[in-house]
Amino acid sequence: MAVGVMDIEGGGASLPGKTTFQVVMCSIIAAVGGLMFGYDIGISGGVTSMDTFLLDFFPHVYEKKHRVHENNYCKFDDQLLQLFTSSLYLAGIFASFAASFLCRRFGRKPVIMSASIFFLLGAILNYFARDLGMLIGGRILLGFGIGFGNQTVPLFISEIAPPRIRGGLNIAFQLLITIGILAASFVNYLTSTMKNGWRYSLGGAAVPALILLIGSFFIHETPASLIERGKDEEGKKVLRKIRGIDNIELEFNEIKRATEISNKVKTPFKELFTKSENRPPLVCGTLLQFFQQFTGINVVMFYAPVLFQTMGSGNNASLVSTVVTNGVNALATVFAVIMVDRLGRKFFLVEGATQMMATQITIGALLLKYLHLVGPITSHAVPLIVLILICIYVSGFAWSWGPLGWLIPSEIYQLEVRTSGYFCAVAMNMVCTFVIGQFFLSALCRFRSGLFFFFAVMNVIMGLFAIFFLPETRGVPIEDMAEQRWKKHWHWKKYFKQN
């Protein structure tokens, strides 16, 4: 079944082919890895605000939360509580490093399957947790699932997608992250009043894991991975299926040329760090993930219920606010799926940074004026205004740095360093997410509303980075990215040998 004809914008030879049902379905199934990631992001903040969860594992935090005269900014400042959230991302760093080697040796498909198994085991362990050790152990298994999935899924989609719609298909990963976050906020709302409701919230992570596990039996391995591992005929067969035509020689020859170069590289990490031509994508891909996390988004995604409770909202009211915020997140990501291959990557990055900067400054100013150290906000309008501002902020992230932080690093590396280069981007994501997850509540306690001004400044810096240092990658075949973009960029061209 063909649903469109493939062409290429941005120059270079056209590659014949169609946008087939197989490509779309394989991309959607693989993108369920994003559903797992999103569900965990969304579930963590809600669970850590539940009284039953705090009573079972962090009774001292529960007592502090309910003290009338407790500092508003410090109610949830506890390193072990933050470790519950952040331990997953520490495990994810090691998992993504392992996955970068496993992807190259065994292919993308078995690594995606392994991601679902790790995540499923972590969900089961968390559901049955009786002490903090079991809880953290489950989080570490979830982290291995996230590390394997985040390392592999965007690469998988970029390698099977036709260039014309590569952006939209790849953003399906981010779209399912947002849907996972939204689903988690609904689950948290429904379970917040149940006895041991936190078990159902954490155990619910098994659902996306099972979907991915079953779906992974039906996806094709990518042609680039098959050809890289010497399976040329199988690679041709898959190319014919996913392109919907018999004449795949031109694309096969391009992949074959790239794999011949790739197979000469025995130490991809050494090649990545020592060869000057790899420096532009390495710097840009890694910085994109660094900036993505320092937009301040995880402040909202991890701790939205905590943040709304800090402003004086009740537990249920804070969870409803989180559902609204996450609904906006999902809808804005749909807009990105539709428009990213029309308006381009840079447009969304600059617009998103500007929008987030303006809302962070406004939220910081409101908290500075109205949220005192002790006691709730006296104005009933302020929490509503902050909710609206957070929705505007989240929409800016959801159609820019959210999806593009994953998309662009997956499409800018040459094949010989693709998995190792993409690992650096994923590792940066995990490191920054760990740091924010582990220390945000402590930083909120010490810097209070000033934290939002810090993230506003970071948005200014990342907007300037996108304008001056990031080439537009829309519509360019990933094997031609160096020739068509990096070698022509005003700054990065100096890293390539002149012929």
- Average model confidence (pLDDT) for the chain? 86
Asked if residue 305 has pLDDT above 90, the reply is no
Confidence of residue 70 (pLDDT cuts 50, 70, 90): low
Q: Is the pLDDT of residue 318 over 70?
A: no
172: pLDDT strictly greater than 60: yes
Of residues 124 and 251, more confidently modeled? 124
**For the segment 378-429, what is each residue's pLDDT rounded down to a tens digit?**
567 777 788 888 899 999 999 999 999 999 999 999 888 998 999 999 899 8
Query: Cβ(224)–Cβ(255) under 8 Å?
Result: yes
Which residue has better confidence, 333 or 384? 333
Domains of the chain: 21-219+265-492 (1.20.1250.20)
- For 233-245, the pLDDT digits (tens) are 999 999 999 998 8
pLDDT digits (tens, 9 = 90+) for 255-296: 898 888 888 888 889 999 999 999 999 999 999 999 998 998
Can you tell me the mean pLDDT for 436-456?
Answer: 79
Higher local confidence (pLDDT), 477 or 119:
119
Which pLDDT band holds residue 1 (cuts at 50, 70, 90)? very low
Q: At residue 46, does pLDDT exceed 90?
A: no
Query: Residue 11: its pLDDT value, please?
Result: 38
Other Cβ atoms closer than 10 A to 195: 8
Is the model's pLDDT at 8 over the cut of 50?
no
Residue 193 pLDDT greater than 50, yes or no: yes
Which of residues 84 and 487 earns the better pLDDT score?
A: 487
Percent of the chain with pLDDT over 90: 53
User: According to the model, what pLDDT value does residue 174 have?
Assistant: 87
- When pLDDT is averaged across residues 323-342 and rounded to a whole number, the result is 89
Cα–Cα distance, 150 to 30 (Å, whole number): 10
With pLDDT > 70 as the criterion, what percentage of the chain qualifies?
87
CA distance 408 to 404: 6
Q: Are 287 and 50 within 8 A, CB to CB?
A: no
The pTM assigned to this predicted structure is 0.81
435, pLDDT greater than 90? no
